[in-house]
Structure 1
Amino acid sequence: MEGSSHGEIFHHVITIMEEKINQPPRRLSENAGNEFCCIFRVPESFVGINKKAYQPHIVSIGPYHYGKDHLEMMQEHKWRFLGSFLRRTRRHNVDLVHLFRAVEQMEERIRECYSEMIEIDKNSLVKMMVLDGCFVVELFCIVGGLSDTNIDDPIFNMQWILTFIMRDLLRLENQIPFFVLETLFKLSISGSDRKNVCSLTQLSLEFFNYMVQRPVEVIENHADLIGKHLLDLFRMSFLPSSSQVTPRNRTTSSSGELSRNTSSTERTSTISTCLSEETSKMSTSSTEEPSTFLQLIPSAKKLHLAGIQFKPGKSDSFLDVKFNNGVLQIPLLTIDDFSSSVFLNCVAFEQCYHYITNHVTTYATFMGCLIN
C-alpha cells in the first residue's frame, strides 16, 4: 500500500509539472526578448538602489502604473487635454472615432512592445493609448506653440507640476510606443499644414530642453530621429553621430588620440585603458611585475597625481569624452534630480534591451570610477 501511495504521488507531481510546462506564461510576454519588446519593468536589483527614480510621481503613461491612487489627479487633466486635442482635429474632420480606429489597428503591435502580458481587453487598451497619447501630444503642441491653452491652466501655472511631468515621461516603466504618439500627432495636423509643422521628434526634444538646455541647432539636427519611445528618443539625441560606426572601424593614432569615427562607447573604453596605463607607469617600479589583473579606471585624484590634466569639453553631447596627450576633456553636465533620474532609466533600458548600445551605461561607469 505504501509503495502504491508513493507511486500515485509521484505520477501526480509529474502530471502537474507537465501541465505547467504546457501552460502559456501569465506575466511574461511571449515577445519578451525580441526586438519589438522595448518597454520593461525595471529589474528589482535596480529598483532596490533608488525605487523613486523608476516609478511615476504624478502621471501614469501606459499600463504598468495605470490606476494607482496617487496618480489619479492627472487622469482628469488627461481628459481636458483630449478635449483640447479634438477641438483642433475637428477643424479638419478628425474626431474621436478616427483616433480610436487608428490606434485599434495597432493593438497587437502595441502589446508586443511590453515585456509583461497586458491583462486588459482590446477596447480598454486602445482607450488608454488614445487618452495617454493625446495627452502627451497635446502637451508638446501647447509648449511648442501649435495649440492654444488657458492662461489659468494649473499645469502651466504651477511650475512644479510640469517639472514632475517631464521626469515621469522619461521613466522606463512609464512609456507608450513612439509609433502611437506619431500616429496621433499626424492625425492632429491637417494635410495642408504638415509641410509647415516641425516633426513630433523636434517638439519632444524642445519640450525636454526646458530641463536640459541645448542649442536650437542641436535639436534641429535630431529632428528626424525615431525612438522606440520617449526615453529612447531622448537618449538617442545625445549619442554622437559617429556612434553608428561599427567596432571594426575603430582606429587609434600613435599618440593615443581616437579617430573621429570612433563611437563614444568605444572611445570611453579606450580612454579607460590609456588612463590605467598612465597611472601604472607612475605606480609600478622597474623591478615590479606588471599586474595581470583587470585594471579599473583610476579615480580623478590618482589621475591628477599621475599628471593627467582635466579640461571641460566643448561638445554638445555629454558622452563625447576625449583623451589626448595627457589631457582628459569631459563636457560639462549639471547633475540634478532630473538628470540623475534620466541617467538611471537610460541605464536600465540599455541593460534590458539587447538591441541598442551601452553608451549611457559606459559613461556612468566611467564617471563613477573618476568620482570614487
Structure 2
Amino acid sequence: MMMVDSAFIICYIMFYSDRHFSLRMNPMEKKTAWMVKVEQDLFLEDNQLPFFVINKLYGIAFGRAYTDISFKDLTCNFISQTYIPGREAARIVGREKVSDASHIKHLVDFLRICCLPPERNLGNSIVVDQNQEIVITQQRMCCLPPKHKNQNPDDLDHSEDSDQFPPSAKELKAAGIKFKATDGKNLLDIKYENGVLQIPTLTIQDTTESILRSLIFFEQCHHFSDSYFTDYVFFLDALIDTPEDVQILVQHGIIKHWLGSDDEVATMVNRMTRYITIYTPNFYYSQISRKLNKHAGTRWNKWRAILKRDYFNHPWSVVSVIYLVLLLILTVLQVYTGFRGLG
C-alpha cells in the first residue's frame, strides 16, 4: 500500500508542477474538483509517508529520464503552484534550503524547512527546556537557527507573558502603528521598523487551517524549542481578537481570504491555538512584541494618533489649522501694534 501511495504522490506532483513530463496517464483525470482536497491530504500529518521512500522510488523510476531535476526540486516546484502557506518560500529559496537538508521526514517537514528563517549559526545552540535546565542542542538538518542568537539562557527575559505577545491590530492602529503587507520570500519574516509592522501576505482558504495545524502538530512533537510556525500562529492569534482586527489586516493586504466573512477568519485563527503548548521565553517574535507593546503603551503615541486621525485626516484640515494659526498670529500682532500706538 505504501508503494501505491508513493507512486500516486510522485505522479500527482509531476503532473501539477510547471514542468512537462511525458506520462501516460493523469491520476486526477476527470476529478479536477478534488484537486484542492488532494493537496490538503498530501500535507496532513496523519497521512505522511517517509520522504526517503518517495525520493528513492522517484530516482528508480525517473532518475535516468529526468537527470536535470531532483524530486526535492520537483516538490518545491509543485508547492509554489498551490495556495499552501509557504508557497513563496518554496518558489524562491526552497531549493537552496532543502538541497542542504538531510533526513527529511516527510512532506510536512519538507514544507517547514522551506519556510525556516535564514541560516544564522552553524554551531551548537543553547536552549532552555521546560525545567529551566540548560540543554546543548546539536546542529540539526538545514542548520536550524536559534531563536535567540548569541544569547545565554540565563539572560533570557522571563518577564510577564503579556509582553511576549503583541496587542490586537485595533489597539496597534489606535496607537498609530502602520501596517504593511510584504511579498517576502518567507511567510515567517515579520518585521517592525520605524512604527511600521511588516507582515508577509497570508492567503486563507478552506484548507489553510488543516495545513497549519499539521505544521503545529509536527513542531509540538519534534521541534518544541524551535517551533517557528507555532509561534507564527500565536502571533496572529494575538493580533486578531475580533472581526474588526481581521478587517484592518485585510485592508492592508496582510490577509487575503476566501472564507465567508472576517468573523470566520477570526474564529479560525483563535481556534488553532487552543490546547497548544508554547514556551514563551523562547517565543520567536518576543522582541517585536515588546517593541509593539512599548509603542502602544506610550500615551504620546496614542494622543498623536488621535490627533492625526481626528483632526489631520484630510489635507484641507491641515490647511484650515495653518490658516487659523496665521490668523491668530496676525491678530496678536495687530493688538500689540495698537497698544504701542496708544503709548
| Shorter-chain TM-score range | 0.5 to 0.7
**Which string of whole-angstrom CA distances, capped at 9 and with x for unpartnered residues, describes residues 190-232 of structure 1?**
54x45x3311112112222232353844444345145210111
Q: Is the 8 A contact 2:178 2:196 kept in 1?
A: yes
Q: Which residue in the other structure is 2:248 paired with?
A: none
Post-superposition offset of 1:167: 0.5
Post-superposition offset of 1:169: 0.6
Identical aligned pairs, as a percentage?
30
Q: Which residue in the other structure is 2:310 paired with?
A: none
Q: 1:174 aligns with which of 33, 47, 50?
A: 47
Q: Which residue in the other structure is 1:221 paired with?
A: 96
Residues 1:340 and 2:222 are matched in the alignment: no
Q: Which residue in the other structure is 2:180 paired with?
A: 311
Q: 2:70 aligns with which of 182, 199, 211?
A: 199
Write the distance in 2 (CA, Å) between the matches of 1:293 and 1:168: 36
Q: Is the 8 A contact 2:190 2:200 kept in 1?
A: yes
Write the distance in 2 (CA, Å) between the matches of 1:248 and 1:324: 28
Structure 2, gaps ≥5 residues long: 128-143, 150-158, 242-343
User: Which structure is higher in strand share?
Assistant: 2
Write the distance in 2 (CA, Å) between the matches of 1:207 and 1:293: 39
Alignment of structure 1 residues 183-194 onto 2, 5 Å = 183-191=56-64, 193=65
**Which string of whole-angstrom CA distances, capped at 9 and with x for unpartnered residues, describes residues 95-134 of structure 1?**
xxxxxxxxxxxxxxxxxxxxxxxxxxxxxxxxx2212112
**Which string of whole-angstrom CA distances, capped at 9 and with x for unpartnered residues, describes residues 247-274 of structure 1?**
679xxxxxxxxxxxx969559xxxxxxx
Structure 1, gaps ≥5 residues long: 1-127, 250-261, 268-290
Structure 1 residues 156 and 349: CA distance shift in structure 2, 3 A: same
Q: Which residue in the other structure is 1:129 paired with?
A: 2
Moved over 6 A (4+): 245-249
Q: Is the 8 A contact 1:156 1:162 kept in 2?
A: no
Q: Which residue in the other structure is 2:23 paired with?
A: 148
Post-superposition offset of 1:302: 1.2
Post-superposition offset of 1:158: 2.6
Match of 2:47, SS state, is coil
One-letter amino acid of the counterpart of residue 240, structure 1: P
Write the distance in 1 (CA, Å) between the matches of 2:168 and 2:146: 20
Q: Is the 8 A contact 1:235 1:346 kept in 2?
A: yes
Q: Is the 8 A contact 2:178 2:197 kept in 1?
A: yes
Q: Which residue in the other structure is 1:99 paired with?
A: none
Structure 1 residues 335 and 198: CA distance shift in structure 2, 3 A: same
Q: Is the 8 A contact 2:98 2:114 kept in 1?
A: no
When normalised by structure 2's length, the TM-score is 0.53
Q: Which residue in the other structure is 1:236 paired with?
A: 113
Residues 1:364 and 2:241 are matched in the alignment: no
Q: Which residue in the other structure is 2:166 paired with?
A: 297
* Paired residue total: 207
Write the distance in 1 (CA, Å) between the matches of 2:9 and 2:16: 11
Post-superposition offset of 1:314: 3.4
Structure 1 residues 293 and 364: CA distance shift in structure 2, 3 A: closer
Structural RMSD (CA): 3.2
Post-superposition offset of 1:181: 0.8
Structure 1 residues 143 and 222: CA distance shift in structure 2, 3 A: farther
Write the distance in 2 (CA, Å) between the matches of 1:343 and 1:180: 24
When normalised by structure 1's length, the TM-score is 0.49
